[in-house]
Amino acid sequence: MNCTSLNWSSKSVYNLSPTIVVCSIAVLIHTIFWIQVISFSSLRQRNMMWLYAYLITDFFLLTRFFIFYFLRHWDVCLYPTFQLILCYFEATSKFYINIVQSYILLALNVCRGAQSIFNRNVFIKHPRLIILTHLLIYILPALNITIQIFGNWTILLPWFGVWGKWLSFFKYSYDACLQLQFKGERIYQCVDGSIIPSCRNNPNGTFISNEATEFFDVGISIGLNFLVLFGMFVVFRTLAYFALRFINNHTGRT
């Protein structure tokens, strides 16, 4: 069984040069920060645990980037089984960490809200609940990804894909970024013939940026995407204001 080397083109390596610089600076900042946390006990507070958990996951993202970068930069030769495992790990690890980070921020805001509105320090009064929340945040996303992979649930149901995407703010920001990237009828070099129709017959040819936006079906214009995002911002902030303004609470701070 022959092994296959993981490598990048020289252009891909060149494009990653700014990312290498930014990630290296981030590692340095992380190192200085954690040295301070270890050195000074006053920084090791219970109410800071969600912040520290988020920073730890952020450090894992940096570690993940450098691992995959050096694997390809050094042309590491892997057997097909290990390469398949590595590809699955590369595809799911970032997705998993991003989900975990979102729930960590949610837990942080919930705990802050409980402390500021109800004057309740959940870290002291409910330590078991905090531990259980930690476990659920880390276990449930991993279980979800595992079920999707082995249960072949990674493809959305047709009826959900029709209307579900319009409820996600990611769609509008992503579509706007795509249109900004491919506007102006610029000419791009074909990488392969699997995506853009004009590249299928000529993989080494070129295509116009408009063909990319047509393939991705971005739908509405950049301005309308911005208006929808702004509308979501106003609606959610307004609902949050009314929830805090008219909440019936008599146990908070005076």
Average pLDDT value for residue range 19-37 = 92
- Residue 74 to residue 63: CA distance in whole angstroms: 16
**Of 46, 45, 41, residue with least CA distance to 131:** 46
Q: Which of 71-75, 138-142, 249-253 has the lowest mean pLDDT?
A: 249-253
Model confidence at 248, in pLDDT bands (50, 70, 90)? low
- Residue 195 to residue 7: CA distance in whole angstroms: 22
Tell me the H-state helices in the chain.
Answer: 10-15, 17-39, 49-73, 80-117, 122-125, 127-151, 158-163, 169-181, 197-200, 209-216, 222-245
Domain range summary for the chain, segments of one domain joined by +: 4-155, 160-245
Q: What is the pLDDT of residues 201-247, one digit of tens each?
A: 777 778 787 877 887 777 788 889 899 999 999 998 898 888 777 76
Model confidence at 100, in pLDDT bands (50, 70, 90)? very high
Q: What percent of the chain has pLDDT over 70?
A: 86
* Chain-centre distance for alpha carbon 134: 19
pLDDT above 90 (res 136):
yes
In degrees, rounded to 5, the angle at the alpha carbon of residue 16 between the alpha carbons of residues 10 and 21 is 130
pLDDT above 90 (res 104):
yes
**Of 64, 71, 65, residue with least CA distance to 8:** 71
**Of 209, 210, 191, residue with least CA distance to 200:** 191
Q: What is the pLDDT of residues 141-199, one digit of tens each?
A: 999 888 877 776 555 555 555 566 777 777 888 888 888 888 777 777 776 666 677 77
| Amino acid residing at 84 | L
**Of 206, 215, 214, 218, residue with least CA distance to 177:** 218
Model confidence at 252, in pLDDT bands (50, 70, 90)? very low
